[in-house]
Amino acid sequence: MITLGHFLALSAVLFAIGLFGVITRRNLIAVLMSVEILLNAAAIAFASVAAYKDPVFFSGQLFALFVMVVAAAELSIGFAILLNVFRHTGSAATDVVEEMRG
Amino acid sequence: MSVLGFAILAGLVLAGALVVVLAENIVHAAVALAFTFFFVAGLYVLLGSPLLAVIQFAVNAAAIPILTLFIIMTTQSRRVRPAAGVFYLVAGVLAVVFLAGLWAYLGAPQEAFRPLSPEGLGARLLTVTLLPFEVASVLLLLAMVGAVVLARRREA
């Protein structure tokens, strides 16, 4: 029998993997991909809690839906900014945007 | 609803995510991202939510990896240089600390699972959460226009 704990554990491990990627990756594209993994881990947690704890109102599953919408919006804007960084500096690595360091 | 199905899906999702995070070739990472999200859609089917599964498949497993590959080809960044060892240390510690939270779930009560009906989900989406639904569509429109404006080549 699959329990809520199974899904939450999977979500936690997935989140940890994404967190590892966000910190260790040096290419901005790879960082954005890791952020996508983080958002998906959160969506899995929302959807599974909704399925087990809230079988009438589905609020968590609707929340997972909105997480996907925000993820898509974030990714498109992030890639547009990345394209500008690439045109300015000729590279997509994280350490080329050091001018904003402060 | 077999534990075996869940174990296979979960293993594939975690393996895909590890490839995304660790692969040296960034094209491999993008393809692994597509597979990861495809198997996450399978998890949504397991959770009794075909609507979420279809949207996950169409948006996250198809559109986003294609966009990612476009950007990879545009910026010609095929490979990533490894980060400094300090970053790996910090990331490893953070990941382990986060995983420590897993222990809280091990004692969670075992509950039976009841599948949901997608009809109720859709009806609720368009009645109770109608306002967030419309705000989300405006957000998507803004993101589209914003991405076009930001990525446009400036003349002069």
For every residue of chain A, DSSP letters joined together read: ---HHHHHHHHHHHHHHHHHHHHH--BHHHHHHHHHHHHHHHHHHHHHHHHHH-TTT-HHHHHHHHHHHHHHHHHHHHHHHHHHHHHHHS--BGGG--TT--
Q: Which residues of A touch B47 (CB under 8 A)?
A: 7, 47-48, 51
Domain that holds residue A86: 4-90
Residue B121 is predicted with a pLDDT of 76
Say if A98 falls within a structural domain: no
Q: How far is B3 from chain A (nearest CA, A)?
A: 6
**What does the pLDDT average to over B25-53?**
90
Q: How far is B2 from chain A (nearest CA, A)?
A: 7
Q: How far is B70 from chain A (nearest CA, A)?
A: 10
DSSP string, B84-102: PHHHHHHHHHHHHHHHHTT
Highest mean pLDDT among A42-51, B82-91, B120-129: A42-51
Tell me which of A99 and A63 has the higher pLDDT: A63
**What does the pLDDT average to over B74-94?**
75
Residue B40 touches chain A, beta carbons under 8 Å = yes
**DSSP reduced 3-state for B134:** helix
Which CATH number characterizes residue A34's domain?
Answer: 1.10.287.3510
Say if A97 falls within a structural domain: no
What Cα–Cα distance (Å) separates residue B141 from each residue in A46, A71, B137?
25, 14, 6
Q: Does position B16 have pLDDT exceeding 80, yes or no?
A: yes
**What does the pLDDT average to over B113-140?**
81
Residue A77 is predicted with a pLDDT of 93
Residue B81 touches chain A, beta carbons under 8 Å = yes
Tell me which of B33 and A51 has the higher pLDDT: B33
Task: Write down the pTM of the prediction.
Answer: 0.86
Contact yes or no for B150 and A61 at CB 8 A: no
Is residue A70 within 8 Å of residue B132, measured between CB atoms?
no
Q: Which residues of B touch A96 (CB under 8 A)?
A: none
Torsion of CA A40, B37, B103, B115, to 10 degrees: 90
Say if A96 falls within a structural domain: no
Which one of B13, B114, B143 has the shortest CB-CB distance to A10?
B13
**What does the pLDDT average to over B72-88?**
74
Q: Does position B119 have pLDDT exceeding 90, yes or no?
A: no
**What does the pLDDT average to over B88-107?**
74
**DSSP reduced 3-state for B30:** helix
The ipTM of this complex is 0.88
Is residue B59 within 8 Å of residue A72, measured between CB atoms?
yes
Say if A38 falls within a structural domain: yes
Rounded CA-CA distance A90/A13 in Å is 35
Residue B105 is predicted with a pLDDT of 64
**What does the pLDDT average to over B103-120?**
64
pLDDT in tens, A74-98: 999 999 988 888 888 877 777 777 7
Tell me which of B33 and B103 has the higher pLDDT: B33
Number of domains in chain A: 1
Rounded CA-CA distance B18/B112 in Å is 31
Say if A100 falls within a structural domain: no
Task: Provide the b/e sequence for B20-34 (b: ≥16 CB within 10 Å).
Answer: bbebeebeebbbbbb
Q: Which residues of A touch B132 (CB under 8 A)?
A: 62, 66
Band of the pLDDT at B78, cuts 50, 70, 90?
low
Which one of A24, A32, A47 has the shortest CB-CB distance to B91?
A24
Contact yes or no for A82 and B75 at CB 8 A: yes
Say if A31 falls within a structural domain: yes
Q: Does position A49 have pLDDT exceeding 70, yes or no?
A: yes
Residue A55 is predicted with a pLDDT of 67
